[in-house]
Amino acid sequence: MKKYKPIFMLLFAVVLFGGASFLQAQEKPKIVFDKLKYDFGQLKQQTTAEHIFLFKNEGVDTLRIIRVKSS
């Protein structure tokens, strides 16, 4: 039994910390968009165009949007 004790301890630690990281991953914010792309079609130069992208947080933790970059 003594020779199996280190194996049991290692297995216990893996299960304990693996479960904690799994639970922590479940608590993260998760952003979900209704659409990822929008095609404006052809626009004349100097024309202003806009589109609103709807999204929601399907995670548990607070979603913080820090930087937004258009392409």
- 42-69 pLDDT, tens digit per residue, is 999 999 999 999 999 999 999 999 998 8
Do the beta carbons of residue 61 and residue 25 sit within 8 Å? Answer: no
**Alpha-carbon gap, residue 7 to 51, rounded angstroms:** 58
Quote the pLDDT of residue 42: 94
Q: Which helix (H) or strand (E) holds 57?
A: strand 55-57
Q: How far out from the chain centre does Cα 58 lie? A: 9
pLDDT attached to residue 59: 93
Q: Which residues, 6 or more positions from 53, have their beta carbon under 8 angstroms from its beta carbon?
A: 33, 34, 35, 38
Report pLDDT digits (tens) over 10-34: 777 777 676 655 555 568 999 999 9
